[in-house]
Amino acid sequence: MAAIAAIFDQLNPGAVVVLPDDCYQGVTSLALRGQRKGLWQVEQLAVDDTPAWLDAARRADLIWLESPSNPLLIIADLVTICAAPRKSGALLVVDNTFATPLNQQPLSLGADVSVQSATKYLGGHSDLLAGIATTADEALAGALRSSRTQNGATPGTLEAFLTVRGLRTLALRLERAQTTALLLAERLQAHDRVTSVRYPGLASHPQHAMAATQLGGFGSVISFEVAGTAIEADQVCHRTHLIQHATSLGSVESTMERRGAVPGQEHLPETLLRLSVGIENPADLWADLTQTLDASADC
């Protein structure tokens, strides 16, 4: 969020900010708070409404994209939107946290800035908070660095060390986690307590073909809905043994949470669970999921 705040710090008063309607909740609340203070104006567009993004790119000062989106895993047509004409001086930013730099390189598609929460996959062990904004524009890099320094958001040496150390195993962790994620997504789809599964690697994902060309891999986050009430969905999270009931994602350990329970996320289907698949034994993960899904069926 410090890296993201440094980008918003570049905006001039009255700027027009365009955000996806399914977006990391912290970004949406930062943007809406700025709007309430009269700093800028916010518009929210459907992630997959490419014509609306092309139109917005001609008018907006900050075009904020996130793909795959958190938590609905909708794919933005980054190839088209990043290459489209935009207002002079506008910044096009892609939050690349879910894809990681191994699966998607927004700067090569024409984005001005690529953002990563290093707290997630890059660090990969749920033991640090850090963020990265990458740009090929030297003047912009200098401006972002000044915002970072002036706002006191310089990362500590331990966080920097842990990020670099985490990066060394990113390829191995991601490969393992996304292979397991596809397996679990397929099995969840066939489970009778599960009413829908969102995962870009499934042929049933509405944008599977675009995901397959745009992404080097489908990532390790799965969002799925369970039959029943929100309380029953909460019980599915509470009864896991191996999967941690926690918010963060992209770690070596699997985490799961009911996202609709989070303030500001009430637009989500109420039984939607977001599962971030880690690097544990796939059979152990499936055993944990089935025991909790089957248990909730009995109550």
Ligand X SMILES: *Cc1c(COP(=O)(O)O)cnc(C)c1O
CB 35, min distance to ligand X, A: 19
Identity of residue 145? R
Q: Which is nearer to ligand X, 100 or 180 (CB)?
A: 100
CB 93, min distance to ligand X, A: 11
Subset of residues 2 to 31 that bind ligand X, contact rule: CB under 6 A: 24, 26
Subset of residues 128 to 157 that bind ligand X, contact rule: CB under 6 A: 129, 131
What is the x/- site pattern for ligand X, positions 81-120, by CB under 6 A? --------------x-xx------------------x-xx
Residues 1, 79, 242, 262: which binds ligand X (CB under 6 A)? 1
Q: Which is nearer to ligand X, 194 or 217 (CB)?
A: 217
What is the x/- site pattern for ligand X, positions 31-70, by CB under 6 A? -----------------------------------x---x
CB 6, min distance to ligand X, A: 12
CB 66, min distance to ligand X, A: 6
Number of residues that bind ligand X (CB under 6 A): 13
Is 220 a residue that touches ligand X (CB under 6 A)?
A: no
Q: What is the binding site for ligand X (CB under 6 A)? A: 1, 24, 26, 66, 70, 95, 97-98, 117, 119-120, 129, 131
